[in-house]
Amino acid sequence: MTFQELGLQTRKPHQSCPFSVVQRLLTACPRVRPPIAWLGKGLVRLFLVLVAASDQGMKAYSRFRLWRIDAAREKLATDIKQLVDSKLTHAQIREAPAGTLMAAAEKRFAAKSIMDRLAKLRARCQRQTNSFITPMGDEMFYRYQQSLIDDATTTVGALLQHSKATNPQIG
């Protein structure tokens, strides 16, 4: 005998149970996740966005510091050229015969001041090269600035040596 012969109706599971509506919804939307998963995924995305933004911020700050070092170095190079003929290059200044470029004591004092400022600028450049803020690969830009600062320091040192050889009584 079958259920129909006995007068019983066969019911489908989704019609008999009050939870059947929920079951149908869950089977129809299997990709729906609970809110805690949304929160976790959102926090991960937020963290990644913050890491990317801080990386870009560090790069921008590093470029700004490099720009300021370059501007200070250029100002000092201009000051060096004001001590002597502004048309001469650093190599020409170093190769000039003793006593031909800088004879006045005021110029010697100015050259010592420039030498001190170049030393401070080089120390600042070295600190920023080793800084955590400086992104990987950007150290070469700072090293290039250091080489230009060293070149200017060598030029000022040669000027001071030439003036000392000409006037030994100057200090």
Most confident of 21-30, 69-78, 82-91: 69-78
User: Per the domain annotation, does 36 fall within a domain?
Assistant: no
> To 5 degrees, how large is the angle CA 105–CA 106–CA 108?
65
Question: Which has more confidence, 147 or 19?
Answer: 147
Give the pLDDT band (50/70/90) at residue 124.
very high
User: Per the domain annotation, does 48 fall within a domain?
Assistant: no
User: Per the domain annotation, does 25 fall within a domain?
Assistant: no
Question: Which has more confidence, 79 or 4?
Answer: 79
Q: What is the pLDDT of residue 5?
A: 58
pLDDT at 76 over 60: yes
User: Per the domain annotation, does 4 fall within a domain?
Assistant: no
Report the chain's mean pLDDT, rounded to a whole number. 78
User: Per the domain annotation, does 121 fall within a domain?
Assistant: yes
User: Per the domain annotation, does 125 fall within a domain?
Assistant: yes
Total domains present in the chain: 1
Handedness of CA 69, 75, 77, 83 (dihedral sign): negative
Which residues constitute the domain of residue 101? 59-166
User: Per the domain annotation, does 65 fall within a domain?
Assistant: yes
User: Do residues 91 and 153 make contact, with C-beta atoms less than 8 angstroms apart?
Assistant: no
Q: How far apart are CA 90 and CA 82, in angstroms?
A: 12
User: Do residues 162 and 96 make contact, with C-beta atoms less than 8 angstroms apart?
Assistant: yes
Q: How far apart are CA 150 and CA 119, in angstroms?
A: 9
Range 29-47 average pLDDT = 66
Reference 157, options 129, 133, 122, 126; nearest CA is: 122
Q: What is the pLDDT of residue 26?
A: 58
